[in-house]
Amino acid sequence: MNQIKVLAPATVANVVCGFDCLGFAIAEPNDEMTVRVISEKEVRIINHDHYNLPTDARKNVAGAALFALLEKAGADHGFEVEIKKNIKPGSGIGSSAASAGGAVVAANRLLNDRFSPLELVDLAMDGEKIASGERHADNVAPCIYGGFTLVRSLNPIDVVALEFPPMFVTVLHPQIEIVTAVARQMLPVQVPLKDAIRQWSNVGALVAALSKGDYDLIARSLEDFLIEPVRKTLIPHFDRVKLESKCAGALGGGISGSGPSIFMLSETEEIAAKVEGAMREVYKNSGIEFFTYVSKINTGGVKFID
């Protein structure tokens, strides 16, 4: 076996109150990636899409993650990776994490699963850093693990896979681009203690609610006092989308990662479809192109195919 094909899922980072620590994977869309061993000690990138992503592997998210893995493995060979991105870069649903996560999971299989999922999260962050300017794992962890994850610590890396009840996610993707690195630079360096207390109370409550399947508590915990007030200014009609989605029955939601996508969690597929209708109603006369979709939560993370 010298080649592996995988599907790497989109992810929603932050999950409203858990900036840089909470995230979950969604069933659709997925990037398609094929990784193969090559004898040269290098990484080659072949893009099969129109996003013009770098083919210089050191500047490419998947390439940087693969270099990190090759170095840690002390390998005397390289990898070639073919990427078909179905997750638009800059959309806020973990496009870079899918490239990095898919690449390391596939390459690891070619190395007979030498590294654990936790180690792969650590390696994939080297790729994520290319896109966002910082190592953060709240997209790569759910991409690799599937479901909901909490990143307790980056150094040393510590990821907790969370239990969660059946839910559906509705995503609104306005066709504007927000560069994660820019959306990070606008955040406050310090926050008032009273806001921090409200924030970590919500994170704790959300984790408990997910594990108990307490939908009312999930809804009450999806509040963000730190990040959303700053970043929502980048997303037209954010407050109305949120309000109308909740009126349509959503448990709650907010900015997906650093945006511009907005996500909403719902208890059933029927409610998630109503939420989709409510989102479309808000955006239909906005003059901004947009996509919406309803997805299940991905379980299992990156999937091997063929």
Hey, which residues between 183 and 202 contact ligand HSE (CB under 6 A)? 183-184
For ligand HSE, the closer of residues 36 and 88 by Cβ is 88
Alpha-carbon distance of 124 to 62, in angstroms, equals 8
For ligand HSE, the closer of residues 19 and 148 by Cβ is 19
Residues 23-58 as b/e (b if ≥16 CB within 10 A, e otherwise) read bbbbbbbbbbbbbbbeeeeebbbebeeeeebeeebe
Does the annotation count 128 as an active-site position? yes
Task: Answer for the pair 94, 87: CB distance below 8 angstroms, yes or no.
Answer: yes
180 binds ligand HSE (CB under 6 A): yes
Binder among 85, 88, 129, 136 for ligand HSE (CB under 6 A): 136
Name the active-site residue from 180, 228, 244, 292.
180
The site string for ligand HSE over 1-30 (x = CB under 6 A, - otherwise) reads ------------xx----xx----------
95 binds ligand HSE (CB under 6 A): no
Q: Name residues whose C-beta falls within 8 Å of residue 140's C-beta, 6 or more positions apart in sequence.
A: 97, 100, 101, 121, 124, 125, 127, 128
Closest separation in Å from C-beta 281 to ligand HSE: 27
Q: Which residues partner with 67 through β-bridges?
A: none
For ligand HSE, the closer of residues 7 and 140 by Cβ is 140
Q: Which residue is nearest to ligand HSE, using beta carbons? A: 257
Hey, which residues between 237 and 266 contact ligand HSE (CB under 6 A)? 257-258
**Which residue has tokens 């094929």?**
34
Does the annotation count 299 as an active-site position? no
Closest separation in Å from C-beta 164 to ligand HSE: 19
Q: How far is CA 210 from CA 2, 22, 49, 205, 218, in A?
A: 40, 12, 37, 9, 7
Closest separation in Å from C-beta 11 to ligand HSE: 8
Q: What does the H/E/C string look like for 221-288? A: HCCCCCCHHHHHHHCCCHHHHHHHHHHCCCCEEEECCCCCCEEEEECCHHHHHHHHHHHHHHHCCCCC
Instruction: Candidates 68-76, 144-152, 176-184, 273-281: pick the segment binding ligand HSE (CB under 6 A).
Output: 176-184
Alpha-carbon distance of 294 to 276, in angstroms, equals 7
Binder among 60, 139, 202, 261 for ligand HSE (CB under 6 A): 139
User: Rule CB under 6 A: which residues touch ligand HSE?
Assistant: 13-14, 19-20, 132, 136, 138-139, 180, 183-184, 257-258
Where in the sequence numbering do the catalytic residues fall? Answer: 128, 180
